[in-house]
């Protein structure tokens, strides 16, 4: 799967399934880790230059486990500028029908329609994998995430985890839990 996508500002990016090879080319992992450090306030985990090697090993191990992790990303001028992952539950019979996703986009490429496109692709993969439900979470105060996920793509707010994230300045943020039933024959309203 490789496709070209035109951003709102006219730039073209390549969207494809990512592998460790993509991260090795042109020091892409270093580039991605750098911008992930800049956007980590909105991510479920902290990225810090101090943990570069640990983060790299964990990420590469995750990418190699293709039965569990499907990562689709976007490249601009051969640099990875966005990443979305679908995490499967193939070894948990009670939850094999659920996928969990996450998405991150380089600050220079946000608000360009890329997040919506990547999430729609993740949803297509989920349907192909016969998943019934998708779940995710975002930190309270991430208004662009709320608008895209809840208002535009019809994810339902399913709950809140109090004090889920502690920022570097010592403040706490709640996590907003969202989900979407992918199988339209299931009515769970």
Separation CA 121–CA 84 (nearest Å): 9
Enumerate the domain spans of the chain.
Answer: 2-181
- What string of DSSP letters covers 30-68? HHHHHHHHHHGGGSSS---GGGHHHHHHHHHHHHH-TTT
How high does pLDDT run on average in the chain?
Answer: 91
Residue 62 has pLDDT above 60, yes or no: yes
Helices 52-64 and 28-39: crossing angle in degrees, nearest 10, is 110
* Confidence at residue 8, expressed as pLDDT on a 0 to 100 scale: 96
pLDDT tens digits along 142-182: 999 999 999 999 999 999 999 998 888 899 999 999 999 99
User: How much of the chain, in percent, has pLDDT values that exceed 70?
Assistant: 97
Residue 189 has pLDDT above 70, yes or no: no
Q: Which fold has domain 2-181?
A: Aminopeptidase (3.40.630)
Q: Where are the alpha helices (DSSP H) in 46-154?
A: 52-64, 114-128, 143-146
When mean pLDDT is compared across 54-58, 78-82, 109-113, the lowest value belongs to: 54-58
């Amino acid at each position: 799967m490789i496709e070209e996508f035109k951003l709102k500002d006219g730039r073209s990016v390549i969207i494809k399934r990512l592998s460790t090879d993509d991260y090795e080319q042109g020091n892409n992992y270093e580039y991605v880790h750098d911008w992930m450090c800049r956007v980590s306030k909105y991510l479920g985990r902290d990225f810090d230059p101090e943990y570069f090697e640990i983060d790299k090993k964990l990420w590469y191990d995750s990418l190699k486990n293709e039965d569990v992790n499907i990562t689709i990303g976007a490249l601009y001028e051969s640099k990875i500028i966005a990443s979305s992952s679908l995490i499967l539950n193939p070894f948990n019979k009670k939850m094999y029908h659920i996928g969990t996703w996450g998405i991150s986009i380089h600050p220079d490429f946000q608000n360009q329609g890329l997040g919506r496109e990547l999430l729609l692709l993740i949803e297509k993969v989920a349907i192909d994998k016969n998943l019934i439900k998708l779940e995710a979470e975002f930190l309270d105060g991430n208004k662009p995430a709320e608008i895209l996920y809840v208002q535009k793509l019809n994810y339902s707010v399913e709950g809140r985890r109090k004090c889920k994230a502690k920022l570097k300045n010592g403040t706490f943020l709640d996590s907003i839990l969202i989900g979407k039933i992918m199988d339209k024959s299931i009515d769970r309203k």
